[in-house]
């Protein structure tokens, strides 16, 4: 696996130290399992949804956690289904899985729902007011030196 040279980026930016580690982690994760399949979509301004195909899993067998900008979705079957059923072919995967997604700063999970074998995790990016762009008004200076002219009136 080739490494990405980020030195040009570091010459002109400040505070992106963890970007290299994030890219490296993403490239390594791409080589892992592709189960379960998933979609990541934009659902609105600063709104996103991650949908995972988790057919055969009940909501009690799924676990969603967020810790330090990392969303983890885990699935583990509760019982041994093969003892209850005698399959001629078993094409629906029910193996244990874990999927991880790195979240950008200020992205929060707002909820999750399981419908028709699809687990959808909703996310929103909420930028704090203190970080939003501000327009700074330029005030007119009132500290102008004024020259008073005294008039000489001859009486």
CB atoms inside a 10 Å sphere around CB 25 = 14
Whether 62 and 78 have beta carbons less than 8 Å apart is answered as no
Question: Which class would CATH give 34-128?
Answer: mainly beta
* CATH 2.60.40.790 domain locations along the chain: 34-128
Reported pTM:
0.67
Whether 35 and 106 have beta carbons less than 8 Å apart is answered as no
Each residue's pLDDT expressed in tens, for the chain with a length of 155 residues:
566 676 776 667 666 666 666 776 666 655 566 889 999 999 999 999 999 999 989 999 999 999 988 999 999 987 765 567 788 998 887 889 999 998 988 899 999 999 999 999 999 998 888 777 888 888 887 765 666 666 555 55
């Amino acid at each position: 696996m080739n490494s990405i040279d980020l030195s040009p980026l570091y010459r002109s930016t400040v505070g992106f130290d963890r970007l290299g580690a994030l890219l490296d982690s993403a490239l390594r994760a791409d080589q892992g399992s592709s189960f379960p399949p998933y979609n990541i979509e934009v659902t609105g301004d600063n709104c996103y949804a991650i949908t995972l195909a988790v057919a055969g899993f009940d909501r009690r067998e799924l676990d969603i956690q967020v810790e330090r900008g990392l969303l983890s979705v885990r699935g583990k079957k509760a019982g041994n289904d093969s003892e209850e059923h005698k399959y001629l072919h078993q094409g629906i995967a029910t193996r244990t899985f874990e999927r991880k997604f790195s979240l950008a700063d200020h992205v929060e999970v707002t909820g999750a729902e399981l419908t028709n074998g699809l687990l959808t995790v909703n996310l929103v990016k909420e930028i704090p007011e203190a970080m939003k762009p501000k327009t700074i008004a330029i005030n007119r200076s009132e500290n102008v030196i004024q020259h008073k002219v005294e008039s000489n009136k001859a009486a």
